[in-house]
Amino acid sequence: MVNICFYFQVHQPHRLRQYSVFDIGKSDTYFDEQKNKEIMRKVGRKCYLPTNKLMLELLQQHPAFKISYSISGVALEQMKEYMPEVLESFKALAATGQVEFLAETYYHSLSFLYDKKEFQQQIAQHVSLVRELFGQTPTVFRNTELIYNNALAYDVEQLGFSAILAEGWDPVLGWRSPNFVYKSKATKNMKLLLKNYKLSDDVAFRFSNKGWEEWPLSIEKYTQWINSVNGNGDTINLFMDYETFGEHQWEDTGIFDFLQALPREVLKHPDNTFKTVSETANDFETRDEVDIHDYVSWADLERDLSAWNGNSIQQSALDELYKLGKAVKETEDKHLIQQWRKLTTSDHFYYMCTKWFSDGDVHKYFNPYDSPYEGYIAFMNVLHDLALRTKILLGKKGKQFDKHSLHVTSKPSSKVLS
């Protein structure tokens, strides 16, 4: 038998506006809410609403069909604010009982790498929102962009989760196939579900690529590939961005027809099943322990962290941001803390990546900036204003602002930018 475990990532960041040096000390409007609204409504129309409608029909038609989602807190917030009908359609999916929601960091952040306490707080915040909206308490964890290593699995097990997702990247798996359930090294019993990137990316990236030798991808062909795993794998984990449907692959590529036929075609084979992430983790025996010391992610060709911290501007932005965290929290100012947290969203650093000059255009997707440098400038300007406001608020409380919370890099500017 072969099981299909579908997991979809749903995420939209709060994009920054082109915040100039001259705004520092004058404006605390950091985010381009107009643009964020436009993008949410556009993606809502093209992807979330039509895909959710189709998913609901499929779940009703096929009681054996199961899917899982991880929707970031910042995406849920923006749905609520800009397109409540999207949120309602996810609630309708939750109500079928065939849909599972995962936990992640509320702000889709890299906090695990920089601030463990913040990491826990963001997970707690996300879990509580999922519970409130969908009436479920997540038991499976998915870190931002599938960033993973042993240490993460260990920490997440301590937080009470029973399974975690990662990229099934050959160099770290060695001879192992991603089509089994494994245990994470150094954990008691943390189940590891690995993405079958080949079969996932056939849909997510290659579906409409006319230069691909397998184009056009018929459902019959795809089901045949799935069935061929029978006998040498327990589960095929198809992990992808939800925006694949209707946004990365437009409706006219036939992606919705493909999706519509998928449960029926897969279930034609009596041994095939669909399971949610926790069912998949629980129903199959773990085959081996997987030892992943260095971070892997699902991003770019490198599958490492270089998409977010590969260059010095990204590193400096991340360092400065997390350095400021403690002082921001000491203000106990909810609005300020929330703004700081919105800055932890990984997309801000992804936009500063200089690899995309050569590495294809995935980074350009919904990227509000012309260049990585523009992204960095806007981010740092905002951070300086945030530091300034933190300083003022702490002053009012009679507390000291640690001058080193924000490292100011050059003498002439210290007057303005400190």
Partner 1 sequence: MLGWEFPPYFAGGVGTVCYELTKGLRKKGVDITYVMPHGPEHVQSEHVNLLVADKELEHLGIQTHKVASTLTPYVSQDEYTRMLDAYGTALMGKGSTIYGTNLLQEMHRFAAAIQKVADHEVFDVIHAHDWTTVPAALALKQKTGKPLVMHVHITDFDKTGGEHADPAVYKIEHEGFHKADIVIAVSNLVKQRLVEKYYVDPAKIRVVHNAVEPTEHNLQVKQEQISPGEKLVLFLGRVTLQKGPDYFLDAAAKVARLLPHVKFIVAGTGDMLPRMIERASDLGIGNKVIFTGFVTRTEGDQLYQMADLFVMPSVSEPFGIVPLEAMQQGTPVIISRQSGVSEVLKHVLKVDFWNVDDLASKMIAALSYEHLHTMLQHHSTLEIQGFTWENPAQQCVDIYNEVLSW
Torsion, Cα 325 330 335 340, to 10 degrees, reads 0
Those residues whose C-beta lies under 8 Å from the C-beta of residue 398, and which sit 6 or more positions away, are none
Nearer residue to partner 1 within complex by CB, 272 or 314? 314
- The minimum distance between CB 418 and partner 1, in angstroms, equals 10
Nearer residue to partner 1 within complex by CB, 126 or 348? 348
Nearer residue to partner 1 within complex by CB, 102 or 377? 377
Binding partner 1 by CB under 8 A: which of 56, 311, 337, 399?
A: 311
The window from 17-25, 72-80, 218-226, 248-256 that contacts partner 1 (CB under 8 A) reads: 17-25
C-alpha dihedral sign at 101, 106, 110, 113 = negative
**Maximum distance among all Cα pairs of the chain, rounded to whole angstroms:** 72
- The minimum distance between CB 201 and partner 1, in angstroms, equals 27
Which residues are 3's β-sheet partners?
235, 273
The residue written with tokens 């960091």 in the block is 105
Those residues whose C-beta lies under 8 Å from the C-beta of residue 181, and which sit 6 or more positions away, are 191, 192, 193, 234, 235, 280, 281, 284, 285, 286, 287
Binding partner 1 by CB under 8 A: which of 354, 362, 366, 399?
A: 354
- The minimum distance between CB 336 and partner 1, in angstroms, equals 23
Contact between 22 and partner 1 by CB under 8 A: the answer reads yes
Alpha-helix runs per DSSP H in 159-195: 170-173
- The minimum distance between CB 365 and partner 1, in angstroms, equals 18
Binding partner 1 by CB under 8 A: which of 334, 357, 361, 398?
A: 357
How many residues sit close enough to partner 1 to count as binding (CB under 8 A)?
Answer: 28
> Distance (Å, rounded) from C-alpha 307 to C-alpha 355?
7
Nearer residue to partner 1 within complex by CB, 87 or 417? 417
Contact between 417 and partner 1 by CB under 8 A: the answer reads yes
Q: Which residues from 374-393 bind partner 1, rule CB under 8 A?
A: 374, 376-377, 380-381
Contact between 412 and partner 1 by CB under 8 A: the answer reads yes
- The minimum distance between CB 369 and partner 1, in angstroms, equals 11
Contact between 21 and partner 1 by CB under 8 A: the answer reads yes
Nearer residue to partner 1 within complex by CB, 193 or 318? 318
Contact between 359 and partner 1 by CB under 8 A: the answer reads no
The window from 134-142, 204-212, 244-252, 305-313 that contacts partner 1 (CB under 8 A) reads: 305-313
Q: Is 279 a catalytic residue?
A: no
Contact between 373 and partner 1 by CB under 8 A: the answer reads yes
- The minimum distance between CB 385 and partner 1, in angstroms, equals 13
Report CA-CA distances (Å) from 173 to 286, 291, 293, 320: 15, 8, 12, 35
> Distance (Å, rounded) from C-alpha 314 to C-alpha 353?
7
> Distance (Å, rounded) from C-alpha 310 to C-alpha 328?
26
Contact between 228 and partner 1 by CB under 8 A: the answer reads no
Report CA-CA distances (Å) from 240 to 167, 190, 219: 11, 22, 18
- CB of 290 closer than 8 Å to CB of 182: yes
The DSSP symbol for 398 reads: T
Q: Helix, strand, or coil here: 334?
A: helix
Q: Which residues from 313-352 bind partner 1, rule CB under 8 A?
A: 313, 315-316
The one catalytic residue in 100, 104, 145, 320 is 145
- The minimum distance between CB 158 and partner 1, in angstroms, equals 35
Report CA-CA distances (Å) from 387 to 314, 318, 346, 381: 18, 14, 20, 10
Token duo for residue 124: 């707690």
Nearer residue to partner 1 within complex by CB, 251 or 374? 374
The residues annotated with a catalytic role in the active site are: 145
Contact residues for partner 1, defined by CB under 8 A: 18, 20-22, 311-313, 315-316, 354, 357, 370-371, 373-374, 376-377, 380-381, 408-413, 415-417
